[in-house]
Structure 1
């Protein structure tokens, strides 16, 4: 029997139509939704912006979407590029701008993008498959409440008008519709299933860490090797792998010896909080940007993440060039692990000029008169590290210092920085105390004690001060983190009040080798960044 050519053409055309229709059905976002259903999404009216900010930080949104060159992480104009084997991805504008950002998106559209990987824009009404460079395989674990709160927080940020170019991907990856097949294969759409809690671990802490690491934090997205389709290899999860941009290696963060097995929970938490690893190196590259976010999380969240990471299955996966684990009976010390404390941050004495505001770094002897400085005369007092003095005159190597603060009404020989808070600036003998100008007494509401504003002018030499107060705080922070993180998890600066830090730090000093000046600067740093006296919030100049 002879088949007519026209029949073959019709058959081929029919198969082509059926194949095309099948492709459209399989790759349609609606198909994934039909198979996986939808998840609960609460109403926008109950949104919690503070929680939204926490989710924003934990999700590392600004690292990818902040406008390049902007110092404000809330300007989410996009534009950063990710050059991979699949092509170049351009991070989109997710600011509330209605034309170039996502300002016109509804909560439901935002949630669908976040937890299902489907955007509202596309050639067809079923939506647009999003490329998994956007880690929705992790974000799918977020709760509806967190998705809603994140949306509300982002919509409260500044709108940034910024056109971002389309992705520049190689064939066939430039066929966005085909991502629908990837979503069917690798996106399950499920909420996080709580894992078994290890013995001796607080269940609430473990599950909070699990949620942050597996969901918002999307740690496995970077720190895992990937298969040929870009999927995370399940049995190598957290085992590290090559950077998709072809530069370097994302470390193994599983508790294996080739990963972070020798890091304690405290060390992991401190790293996420401060960026400093157990041998004193600071996070750099992409991880420095991550730490910029995790350092702003509640410290309880950082600790929970550390607890969970210490509990995931170990994966043996040595990075290229990484030495083999040391199985010898003796300990091998790393050179970079044994460091000296940085030098005290002092300005050159010649740089201290009349009119400057200078922070005392090295405890200074002071005298009533200029002619008594650096002579055999006993000093009339001391100015302590962290105190601020105004340079009101200079005579050769001698400087006149004016200090302003507060005194308890019945204690004229001690000057404090603030009323009611024992941030000590200076101590005087009776002669110097007699030169103090005191104002009207005020009663501290919380203690009922009577305090008076006070001002005193004394003389000293120009050494041991710094006109850059930020540099002094940076020294205090670095020394505190380096020394104290060696043994335990660092408390947040704002965990204690200025007065509470005195006893807390004093109790630990015997375990350190701090000099008096180092100790004073650390204490001043902690007190000035404490719960009730936080200079970063403008309460103290």
Structure 2
């Protein structure tokens, strides 16, 4: 309950940033990295003013170490904390999502309290909230609570029709409903607010503005303008990996959430995904998002931005020490060392191509490409005899530099193939020293891009040459960039039915 309740996201002491946050460009204060030090201190800037997240560690003075279970339960259920001066307690601002936590069972609230009491006490001096008038008057929060808080569990009886449509048992939907509406408090971010700060029920989960003033929480209803095309499994996978069906990575506050939901059970993640497929679909595009096309006409939207995908590459030191490197981004090569970086080049090296490092000089590498060629296709290097796994495309000058052995006839295709090699110069950027890193990345691409619509075939379901047409026919339904597509195709071909992977440590 502590993890799915996302408690650490707000109440962790500054500096405890997780890997997902780092990957998405969040700033880090390197004073500590423990997600269980709940000394507070994060500042939530909103249109109402600044909320300073309090200390909820079991520190007896600065945290909640002196609270009783009854006081903790009242805070979770009623939004009232203990106050040394006022016998009726202190009204808590609904930036603390007790409007959702009120739906939690007494046992879960008790267990959460017991768990927090086992954590390390943290001493901290957190300032009061700095809010504008009249929001700085806590008594007004008491009136708000009386008007909009009922403290009752939500009655929910999942329909057998909804369960049957998802091929799940009703108790799966019931569990998902509890996690989403209660401890998960998903509606608190993914819904718009009225001027009173409440969620209009007819717009629940339809998306809303980030209270911090930057960004927008998306519509997560099963509408076309939301996540209607996501399956329950896709939602569950997103809660585990942070990667959407169209290969977008969770960022900002959602990266925090995924860091937590990745720790819950597969069954609970699936239950949440299944329940979200049953909430009312609401037509509400995000700002800048076009309305869905409901006509028979095919409309191709222009790209709103051109982004170079961030592929797994190795650092300069690793490349400097490596005897073998692998292409990540498509790389231009040169026959003349002096021409590196100054001309159009003599050909292209494609994703996942293995290169032996022969020489180094001033940020340039002389590398040897080993592969196979066909006499009638001298502009192309292939990774395997008999399989069209592209490694490189050659220009006129580079064709003349290829060293070829005697041709042989492939017994399966009855075509001539010759083992060949070529030495060229490249710059030392955008490469990996670990083929397994490229395969891991490509495996995630496969799951994210293809799993949206398909029950994924195992990668060795097809022959290497079959993957070319199969993947190309579906590319227009994805958002893959050229380099991502090349890596994905190389991954599938190198793990196909008739090819043995060149890397024994590759993803299985």
TM-score relative to the length of structure 2: 0.63
Residue 222 (structure 1) aligned with residue 189 (structure 2): yes
CA distance in 2, matches of 1:129, 1:66: 22
Residue 91 of structure 1 corresponds to which residue in structure 2?
53
The alpha-carbon distance between structure 1 residues 525 and 123, as it changes in their structure 2 partners (threshold 3 A), is farther
**Structure 2 gap ranges (5+):** 18-32, 328-351, 353-358, 367-425, 472-487, 496-500
| The one of 314, 319, 329 aligned to 2:296 | 329
Structure 1 residue 251, shift from structure 2 partner: 1.2
Residue 167 (structure 1) aligned with residue 142 (structure 2): no
Q: Map residues 242-391 of structure 1 onto 2, 5 A cutoff.
A: 242-332=209-299, 345=313, 351=319, 353=321
Structure 1 residue 139, shift from structure 2 partner: 0.5
Question: What does the per-residue CA deviation read over 1:322-346, in whole Å, with 9 as the maximum and x for residues that have no partner?
Answer: 2121223255566779999976746
Q: Map residues 515-534 of structure 1 onto 2, 5 A cutoff.
A: 515=490, 519=495, 520=501, 524=505, 526=507
Structure 1 residue 359, shift from structure 2 partner: 9.7
* Aligned-CA RMSD value: 4.2
Residue 426 of structure 1 corresponds to which residue in structure 2?
none
Q: Indicate if the aligned counterparts of 1:65 and 1:77 stay in contact, CA closer than 8 A.
A: yes
Structure 1 residue 469, shift from structure 2 partner: 10
Residue 60 of structure 1 corresponds to which residue in structure 2?
6
Aligned length: 373
**Structure 1 gap ranges (5+):** 1-54, 363-384, 386-393, 399-462, 491-502, 528-541
Residue 485 (structure 1) aligned with residue 448 (structure 2): yes
Q: Indicate if the aligned counterparts of 1:87 and 1:168 stay in contact, CA closer than 8 A.
A: yes
Q: Indicate if the aligned counterparts of 2:49 and 2:131 stay in contact, CA closer than 8 A.
A: yes
CA distance in 2, matches of 1:118, 1:268: 34
Residue 396 of structure 2 corresponds to which residue in structure 1?
none
Residue 179 (structure 1) aligned with residue 141 (structure 2): yes
Structure 1 residue 263, shift from structure 2 partner: 2.4
Q: Indicate if the aligned counterparts of 1:344 and 1:361 stay in contact, CA closer than 8 A.
A: no
Question: What does the per-residue CA deviation read over 1:414-453, in whole Å, with 9 as the maximum and x for residues that have no partner?
Answer: xxxxxxxxxxxxxxxxxxxxxxxxxxxxxxxxxxxxxxxx
SS in 2 for 1:206: helix
| The one of 112, 116, 132 aligned to 1:154 | 116
Q: Indicate if the aligned counterparts of 2:240 and 2:261 stay in contact, CA closer than 8 A.
A: yes
The alpha-carbon distance between structure 1 residues 345 and 106, as it changes in their structure 2 partners (threshold 3 A), is same
Q: Indicate if the aligned counterparts of 1:142 and 1:215 stay in contact, CA closer than 8 A.
A: yes
Q: Indicate if the aligned counterparts of 1:85 and 1:244 stay in contact, CA closer than 8 A.
A: yes
Q: Indicate if the aligned counterparts of 1:280 and 1:336 stay in contact, CA closer than 8 A.
A: no
CA distance in 2, matches of 1:470, 1:127: 60
CA distance in 2, matches of 1:522, 1:292: 30
SS in 1 for 2:44: strand
CA distance in 2, matches of 1:522, 1:151: 48
Q: Indicate if the aligned counterparts of 1:225 and 1:236 stay in contact, CA closer than 8 A.
A: yes
Residue 192 of structure 1 corresponds to which residue in structure 2?
154
Structure showing the higher helix proportion among its residues? 1
CA distance in 2, matches of 1:243, 1:300: 30
CA distance in 1, matches of 2:310, 2:51: 42
Q: Indicate if the aligned counterparts of 1:266 and 1:488 stay in contact, CA closer than 8 A.
A: no
CA distance in 1, matches of 2:307, 2:44: 37
CA distance in 1, matches of 2:502, 2:106: 46
| The one of 51, 64, 75 aligned to 1:113 | 75
TM-score relative to the length of structure 1: 0.59
SS in 2 for 1:486: helix
CA distance in 1, matches of 2:302, 2:157: 40
Q: Indicate if the aligned counterparts of 2:189 and 2:217 stay in contact, CA closer than 8 A.
A: yes
